[in-house]
Structure formats: structure tokens, C-alpha cells
Amino acid sequence: MTELPNSTDRKMGLVIDLDTCVGCHACVISCKGWNTENYGAPLSDQDPYGSDPSGTFLNRVHSFEVQPQACGTQPAPAAQLTHFPKSCLHCEDAPCVTVCPTGASYKRVEDGIVLVNESDCIGCGLCAWSCPYGARELDLAAGVMKKCTLCVDRIYNENLEEIDRVPTCVRTCPAGARHFGDLGDADSDVSKLVAERGGFDLMPEMGTKPVNKYLPPRPKDQIEDQIDILAPLLAPVTGDAGGFMGWLDRALDKIPGGAN
């Protein structure tokens, strides 16, 4: 049903650490793999080996460059690169749910996960229009809306080892940049992490109240004048060589085609 629940028992979601993500896209691939082989219609590709490949993904990693403002202490600050994984944020006030005409999109009361019932979806695309984050993609082969399920078929799956009962992106991330847990419980590890690191919402002005949180990149160390502590020891002792070596140096310089 497309009426949003007033509250959910738990708020399961992800915390993504923008400081730690190295931009390897491993989560993108494991997501595509798991969600093609398991719950719902597979994530199809169009023209995968041709000249214009495209396909459905539930998680994509952008890269942004942040150029700090020049100031007195740092007249020419270095730009900073941030890799930025983005998938459904399982919003509390999910506009994608209320716009759906069929009731295919819904938010679960028990854990707050936003899902699409694929057998009810008419593929009108309106939910994707209403999502500010580009978290929903209409699968061209299946004609239904696809989105992150928070790996609902893993997190409660008793056929899996306990360690694997987390979303596949979290399990796969080699840098430990993705964390999974109950953001409605102030004592959970993820909530503590958010509090400690100043986790924030994407586009808060949209009023979607995302459950997923992002942790900001930590401030970078300053690049000092002298980077290499060995450099002073390796400095040339004299500027201009004299004697035979000096003569040889000058003579070699005169030969046409030399390096200088």
C-alpha cells in the first residue's frame, strides 16, 4: 500500500564512509551479481558487448572533486577527490512510495525497507521521477522498477552464515566503507558511528528524511614545504664541478643532440 507507515519498528539502513571509500566499485559489481541471481527480475543489460552498452544498477559510485578556497595559510590548496557510492536511502518520508498508483511501492513497517512488488508494478516510472537521488531504475527487459532491497533476501536468510547476513555491498567492500544496522536505535553501532563522525543526509531540503547516512571525509593533512625528510641529506655538495669532471661535463654539453 502506498500510504507510508507513521513509524517503523526499526530503521534498517546503511552508513557510507566517504573518507574510507577508495572508489573500487566492488560493491557495484557484487550488488549487480546478487540481485541478478536472486530476488526479483534480473538486472538486465542492453547491448552489453556492443558500442553503446547500458544496464540496470541499484548502486553506482560517483566521484566528486572538492576544491578548497585559497586562504592565507594555504594560497594554493590541493583539490580533494571523494568517491561517492549511491543507492536507495530508504527514506522515512519516501515520495516514491506515495506517488505510486498501483501500490507496488511500499515501505515495510517492521524494518523500514522500501520495496517494489514487481508483479503489481505497471512500469509507469513516476516513482523514479519522484526520487531525488536517482535510486530507482526501470529495467528495460522486465519493464518493472528496480531498486535496492537492502538485500532483504540475505539479511534474514538463515541458510547463510551469520557473517553473510548483511547487504552484499557491505560484505564485499574491501575498505570497510559501508556499514549496516538499525539507525532507529540510538545505541546501535551505526548510530554511534553517525553521532561520532557527524553523519549527514543528502539533499535534506527535499524533506525525504533518508535513513542512510553519509560520513564526511576527514580533513586532510597539510602538505609541508619539505615532504621528503631524506632530501636534505642527498642535496649536491657543490653546485659546479671543477677540475677534470667539470671539463668533461662542459665538453659533453657541447656535443649536439645532448639532453640539454
From the list 21, 121, 150, 152, which residue makes contact with ligand SF4 (rule: CB under 6 A)? 121
Which residues sit opposite 200 in a β-bridge?
214
Q: Which does 147 bind (CB under 5 to 8 A by kind): ligand SF4, other proteins, none?
A: ligand SF4
Report residue 81: phi and psi, to 5°: -100, 130
Asked if 88 is part of the footprint of ligand SF4 (rule: CB under 6 A), the reply reads yes
Asked if 42 is part of the footprint of ligand SF4 (rule: CB under 6 A), the reply reads no
Q: Which stretch binds ligand SF4 (CB under 6 A): 95-103, 158-166, 190-198, 226-234?
A: 95-103
Residues in the chain: 260
Query: 186-210 burial, b if ≥16 CB within 10 A, otherwise e?
Result: eebebbebbeebebebbeeebebeb
* Complete DSSP assignment for 142-182: T-SEE---TTHHHHT-TTS-GGG-S-HHHHH-TT--EEEEE
From the list 4, 31, 145, 166, which residue makes contact with ligand SF4 (rule: CB under 6 A)? 145
Q: How far is the CB of 111 from other proteins (least distance, A)?
A: 21
Asked if 125 is part of the footprint of ligand SF4 (rule: CB under 6 A), the reply reads yes
- Nearer residue to ligand SF4 within complex by CB, 116 or 152: 116
- Nearer residue to ligand SF4 within complex by CB, 89 or 244: 89
Q: Which does 89 bind (CB under 5 to 8 A by kind): ligand SF4, other proteins, none?
A: ligand SF4
Amino acid letter, residue 175: A
Amino acid letter, residue 247: W
Chain-centroid distance, C-alpha 202: 12
Number of residues that bind ligand SF4 (CB under 6 A): 29
Q: How far is the CB of 207 from ligand SF4 (least distance, A)?
A: 11
Which residues sit opposite 13 in a β-bridge?
181
- Nearer residue to ligand SF4 within complex by CB, 61 or 127: 127
Which own/partner pairs from 181-187 qualify as long-range (CB within 8 Å, at least 24 positions apart)?
A: 181/12, 181/13, 181/15, 182/10, 182/11, 182/12, 183/11, 183/12, 183/13, 183/15, 183/211, 183/212, 183/213, 184/8, 184/9, 184/10, 184/11, 184/112, 185/10
From the list 104, 113, 155, 177, which residue makes contact with ligand SF4 (rule: CB under 6 A)? 104
Asked if 190 is part of the footprint of ligand SF4 (rule: CB under 6 A), the reply reads no
Q: Which does 66 bind (CB under 5 to 8 A by kind): ligand SF4, other proteins, none?
A: other proteins
**Binding residues for ligand SF4 (CB under 6 A):** 88-91, 94-96, 99-102, 104-105, 114, 116, 121-127, 131, 133, 135-136, 145, 147, 208
